[in-house]
Structure 1
């Protein structure tokens, strides 16, 4: 193989790339965010697409400072955990940023998790304070009761029994002289992300100050103040660094999927399920897409047919795919649209999820062999994708993490795929969702991607049978008649645990 991309190197079936530019702020996330927000205090930070309410970085910073001072007043200590269980809105990022100002860790619970799952995760992190949306108050009350915790609950909205968030953001004495706490060590845990729980109980994925800041460092010099970005995974840390404006709309639903375009968004980041829901829902006549430049579709398994369907729905928009996972804070693959070769691949490598990202090593291994030296595969050979990067997780929170890495220290992504002669990656499915049937490996995605005009949602799992230990079990229906009955996750994934 030739090194077609000067930043991509290849040796002994190992792909590796140049390191990311810049070194993270040694003082940690709190100080880095504070300085950036203060510097850009007059720029627009976020817009509520429903109420049209807006925040500048200055007004957002003021709320974060006041909330941080309140956290200190109630006795929050360095290294304590602050949690969140709320849908996205203008104030949902405040607890995150405020916690970093005090030197605390952040762990958010998904409002779509069940009581049992929420109790399981709550016990892992035991937050001192949890910020809760009105839709999750009963859930978190039951969680705290079940666990027997003394956690303080702050509610976004009216409340008679808990602390109203509005009390926290009242003017504070000496707020103008506020200084955030510096991190003791950049390799300390800053953020705990919980896995989706689609195939097992969710786990706490630990990221450090270093992994988060290192990921954001390359975009520090960007100026996207004229870009209005909608994402159903709102990345406020990107907005802080590249000055882009976040658009927040009500939770994505099958009844009003086009509501996100009530404002003239220029860029949209969506998971594959939400994107296909848009494609299969008639666009209202009053929806104007003239300002929309690009749609970035996230998800490990996206077929060529699905990408074509998206491009037909958005004919004048640049549609591309990204591959990543919670265990690695930075995207694992990317296309740089400023580079002609990358743009060429975007249009010609239809099933690909892009090229290797900077600062990462890659290999594909045969998951069925035990000898390390026999595992590494070459181009177009299918196996498990494994990576090494400084942006990967530190481990699972308060759980055994020994199985995350192989004996050579490579992170097991759990994704089954391959790369081609140009280093473009293709992800076929999740290894843990694959199963053997009559001696063959079955990937649910290969069945789910079969198109039929009357089917909007298709889910393939496995069930136990007498004749075969596992056989395919296939659910098919229209979104309108069935999707509301599915166990949907907050990231638009369906809980796909084995049945029967």
Structure 2
């Protein structure tokens, strides 16, 4: 049974007014087929099951293949095993692994039990790992052999983690085997299996992590209903064309972007990490028709000289940061049969998508900015001082209301994150043109975007201040041709300290993961400019960085 729901007719009227605000951008009124059960795992399983033995996932490096039917069976077997082990609705279960064949079966199996899935970056260092795990407090952790080897000491030190399950057949001390879990029930099928009931609009399906201006990741709770709605939004990929993905699956873009492909019967070819030669070779070997990437990957691809046949590529989907016009031109030159370069704008808190280009936009020659507002979504631009909505071509903060909005942050009062009309305050600055295309021009939030990763200056500053030789510190992003932005540190040394730039860089490298390293250099200053209340004046730091930046 399906409930056909038309949104925005009743959801987005504000302040009891019956007329739409002419300054707002309204996405299409969205007719979604939302199952009456409202369970995200059941929704995905039903989509997978009808694809039978069609290929779903291919490892472009090892050439391992996984069918839709096998993905679904593994998920159901895992769910049965977890419930037998004692997993109950409301428990949290984590996955800390690189992209690999078992990942999505584990995701779907976990959610099928009524438990909450949390996806963790295996590249975190110990302090970061402890921080996010103390947010979600998972009862069980699934790990790849590599991630468990790297993090076992930290993971075992956390009292709330009761069991460790390793992907593959390899066993290490104090771990269980994933393969044994998915082989538990021989004749399992969708006919003799059912998920644990949930209340779709209330219950959390997934916790993912998003950095904020505090510098520390926050746990974003995404509901079953919002997750289904995200997958039901209009889809512009061609299911007949293989998609090459390198986006990490612990991130909302990789996780929900991939599930969207699956529920639309597409084929994903994935790589465990980005290697430029292997990436281009994979396009040739698997006749890749579509890629989803962040801008730094496109820049690297355009600069890479090779003789691989990449004529199969037709569509490029880019996200995480805006593309420059010269990059788009270079991409078109690199791929002779390219039909379109499409961009979108989204974030973890809205379950991925707020605006996007479509193939229809291409046909109408209306591709601009980061596209039009997504279905089921309303966007307004508000003046930074008055907080009143403004019209086209006027810059302000982007605020979003959508059917896919998060439930909230874990253990955080969310009242400051939403305005009195229920719009989420994104912290991004932009505008829209007369054709209602959205453009992103800056970030009110002070995050640095390094190759699509969000790097919070306050987090780096906090670590810098841990060093006994550093008195004060401020961090800003500076432009970088291939990475987008890199962090530059401004440092006030303690009296008598003789710390060097290289020593400070090395100190950060031991404390924080790779995207947060000080690639923009260190500038020694007499003081960090601040307001009377003590807030760092990053605008002045950015001006100082412009004078000295040679990148």
TM-score (ref. length: structure 2):
0.74
1:193 aligns with 2:204: no
Judge which range, 194-203 or 73-82, deviates more: 194-203
2:240 to 188, 204, 226: 226
Q: Is the 8 A contact 2:291 2:315 kept in 1?
A: yes
Secondary structure of 1:386 counterpart? strand
1:280 aligns with 2:303: yes
2:31 maps to which residue?
21
Instruction: Name stretches of at least 5 consecutive residues in structure 1 with no aligned partner.
Output: 1-6, 436-442, 467-474, 476-483
1:169 maps to which residue?
182
1:179 maps to which residue?
194
Q: Residues 388-416 of structure 1: CA distance to partner in whole angstroms, max 9, x if unpaired?
A: 11111111112232221123321011111
Measure, in 1, the Cα distance between the counterparts of 2:491 and 2:45. Answer: 58
Measure, in 1, the Cα distance between the counterparts of 2:516 and 2:314. Answer: 26
Q: Is the 8 A contact 1:68 1:98 kept in 2?
A: yes
Measure, in 1, the Cα distance between the counterparts of 2:44 and 2:518. Answer: 35
List aligned pairs for 1:77-476, cutoff 5 A.
Answer: 77-157=88-168, 158-161=170-173, 162-172=175-185, 175-176=188-189, 177-195=192-210, 200-218=215-233, 224-231=238-245, 232=247, 233=254, 235-253=257-275, 256-261=278-283, 262-282=285-305, 284-285=306-307, 287-317=308-338, 318-338=340-360, 343-346=364-367, 349=368, 352-367=369-384, 369=385, 371-372=386-387, 375-433=388-446, 448=479, 456-457=482-483, 459=485, 461=487, 463-464=489-490
Measure, in 1, the Cα distance between the counterparts of 2:270 and 2:323. Answer: 25
Residues 146, 323 of structure 1: alpha-carbon distance in 2 compared, 3 angstrom cutoff: same
Secondary structure of 2:171 counterpart? coil
Q: How many residues in Structure 1 have an aligned counterpart in Structure 2?
A: 450
Instruction: Name stretches of at least 5 consecutive residues in structure 2 with no aligned partner.
Output: 1-8, 10-18, 248-253, 449-474, 493-500, 502-508, 525-551
Q: Residues 17-74 of structure 1: CA distance to partner in whole angstroms, max 9, x if unpaired?
A: 2332224112111221222222222222111212222111111111111111111111
Q: Residues 289-312 of structure 1: CA distance to partner in whole angstroms, max 9, x if unpaired?
A: 122110111123332223223223
Measure, in 2, the Cα distance between the counterparts of 1:225 and 1:79. Answer: 34
Residues 178, 431 of structure 1: alpha-carbon distance in 2 compared, 3 angstrom cutoff: same
Residues 133, 265 of structure 1: alpha-carbon distance in 2 compared, 3 angstrom cutoff: same
| RMSD (Å) for aligned C-alpha atoms | 3.2
Residues 224, 254 of structure 1: alpha-carbon distance in 2 compared, 3 angstrom cutoff: closer
Measure, in 1, the Cα distance between the counterparts of 2:30 and 2:520. Answer: 38
Measure, in 2, the Cα distance between the counterparts of 1:281 and 1:353. Answer: 26
Judge which range, 293-302 or 114-123, deviates more: 293-302
Measure, in 1, the Cα distance between the counterparts of 2:166 and 2:87. Answer: 18
Offset, 1:100: 1.9
Measure, in 2, the Cα distance between the counterparts of 1:397 and 1:361. Answer: 25
Secondary structure of 1:24 counterpart? strand
Measure, in 1, the Cα distance between the counterparts of 2:202 and 2:123. Answer: 31
Judge which range, 30-39 or 80-89, deviates more: 30-39
Residues 459, 264 of structure 1: alpha-carbon distance in 2 compared, 3 angstrom cutoff: same
Q: Is the 8 A contact 1:207 1:394 kept in 2?
A: yes
Q: Is the 8 A contact 1:122 1:143 kept in 2?
A: no
Judge which range, 380-389 or 210-219, deviates more: 210-219
Residues 457, 123 of structure 1: alpha-carbon distance in 2 compared, 3 angstrom cutoff: closer
2:58 to 14, 34, 47: 47
Measure, in 2, the Cα distance between the counterparts of 1:179 and 1:189. Answer: 18
Task: Flag as ranges the 4+ runs of structure 1 deviating above 3 A.
Answer: 9-12, 196-199, 222-225, 253-257, 456-466, 484-489, 492-500
Q: Is the 8 A contact 1:17 1:358 kept in 2?
A: yes
Residues 459, 337 of structure 1: alpha-carbon distance in 2 compared, 3 angstrom cutoff: closer
TM-score (ref. length: structure 1):
0.81
Q: Is the 8 A contact 1:82 1:95 kept in 2?
A: no
Offset, 1:160: 2.9
Residues 152, 434 of structure 1: alpha-carbon distance in 2 compared, 3 angstrom cutoff: closer
Secondary structure of 1:448 counterpart? strand
Measure, in 2, the Cα distance between the counterparts of 1:10 and 1:279. Answer: 44
